[in-house]
Amino acid sequence: MTTTRGLEGVVATTSAISSIKDDVLTYRGYSIQDLAEQSTFEETIYLLWNGELPTADQLQAFKAELAENASVPNELFEFMKNYPLETVHPMAVLRTAISTLGIYDPDAELMDKQSNKEKAIKLQAKIATLVAGFARIRQGLQPVVPNKSLSYAANFLYMLKDRVPSEVEAQMFDKALVLHADHELNASTFTARVCVATLSDMYSGITSAIGALKGPLHGGANEQVMRMLERIGSIEWVDDYILNALENKKKIMGFGHRVYKNGDPRAKILKTMARTLSEMSGDSRLYDMSLKIEILMKEKKGLLPNTDFYSATLYHILGIDHDLFTPVFAISRTSGWAAHILEQYNDNRLIRPRAEYNGPRLRRVTPMAQR
């Protein structure tokens, strides 16, 4: 057998959902740039799940389905109130909430195509409500009831802050959701497919994906980027911090990518969005720091920013708590996870790789008295 650490370069399956080729990311054949500029998150979800962009009537019906399923059982919010709110990480709460959500769905164990599509809608609709609800509960506030008249992106910001966001805020957040919706066979998506390949239910698949996304080498990286920016404090300290970190061989979060060799296309769009919002807010401190870090990293290490780097600045300006960055990532990526789960169910084979054994050779058990 040939061993490949981290399965790098190993093709584990075929998929028609998204592709990364020559540093171009596409969803169902559409470039991420076109989708970010010309579609919405709801259209993107529909595309990922159905293979084609929706017509006006299909989109209206789909948005209505998401809106109708956005409410969550109040018991989940009551559970959250009993958590150690000062110390628990929102990703741990989300992981538990999605798992618990399956208990309240009488169709959770049904495996036909229609039932699975309905579960995908329920999960996508409710995950935003769960994240926003927990954010308010830990502030001692009541969760905000979803607003059916708003878009998916605008409704999340509304539930988070109890105010309707500006058009620019909603548009920027919507674009960010589109950019993070899917990314081929990344760690969390692969985890979801491995889980449901056993014919486990979709709630289990999404819960396992959230567990994988929680790690700082995957979805948690954008939160780590924000922590780094906070530690640096101002642009005058960027050089000292980065050069010292590199000298001590510390990892600078938000740079490099195993797949992209000439830069993450999502990062380029997020950089422009972060600059625009920074200028509008009148406070470009974080953006200016980020730009200087990007220049230094390219000069010293030849590394370019990935999607986590500028998304941190973007979410900060939108007023999202820093430890909610990864749950927000999960809100978006649920669309891709669900697409891959549906695809796995459609042509399933148990995923069971092998390991190259490197332990002791065959041994005999020594009697206890002789050990």
The pLDDT, as a whole number, for residue 1 is: 65
Distance, in Å, from the CA atom of 370 to the CA atom of 348, rounded to the nearest integer, reads 50
Return the CATH fold of 221-317.
Answer: Cytochrome p450-Terp; domain 2 (1.10.230)
Q: What is the mean pLDDT of residues 121-138?
A: 98
Is residue 2 predicted with pLDDT exceeding 90?
A: no
**Catalytic positions:** 257, 308
Q: Is the pLDDT of residue 126 over 80?
A: yes
Q: pLDDT over 70 for what percent of the chain?
A: 100
Q: Are strands 18-21 and 24-27 parallel, antiparallel or unpaired?
A: antiparallel
H or E segment and range at residue 19: strand 18-21
* Residue 48: partners with Cβ closer than 8 Å, 6 or more residues away: 17, 18, 27, 28, 181, 182, 335, 336, 338, 339
CATH 1.10.230.10 residue ranges for the chain:
221-317
pLDDT in the model for residue 65: 98
Residue 196, CB half-sphere, CA atoms under 13 Å: how many? 30
Note whether 49 and 69 are within 8 A (CB): no
Radius of gyration of the chain (CA): 22
- Per residue in 47-88, pLDDT (tens digit) is 999 999 999 999 999 999 999 999 999 999 999 999 999 999
Q: Given a cut of 90, is residue 140 above it in pLDDT?
A: yes
The first and second tokens of residue 63, run together, are 């948005």
Q: Is the pLDDT of residue 258 over 90?
A: no
- Which tokens in the block code for residue 25? 């990311």
H helix intervals, the chain: 32-38, 41-50, 56-68, 74-81, 90-103, 113-137, 152-161, 167-179, 187-196, 202-213, 221-232, 238-247, 265-281, 285-301, 307-317, 325-346
Q: Which CATH superfamily is domain 30-168+181-217+323-346 in?
A: Citrate Synthase, domain 1 (1.10.580.10)
> CATH 1.10.580.10 in the chain, residues?
30-168+181-217+323-346
Determine the average pLDDT of the residues in 25-41.
Answer: 97
Token duo for residue 131: 């994240």
User: Is the pLDDT confidence value at 261 over 80?
Assistant: no
What would the pLDDT profile of 268-310 be if each residue is shown by its tens digit?
A: 999 999 999 999 999 999 999 999 999 999 999 999 998 889 9
In 3-state terms, what secondary structure has residue 18? strand
pTM of the predicted protein model: 0.94
Residue 366 DSSP label:
P
Per-residue pLDDT tens digits for 206-235: 999 999 999 888 888 888 999 999 999 999
pLDDT of residue 129: 98
pLDDT more than 90, % of the chain: 87
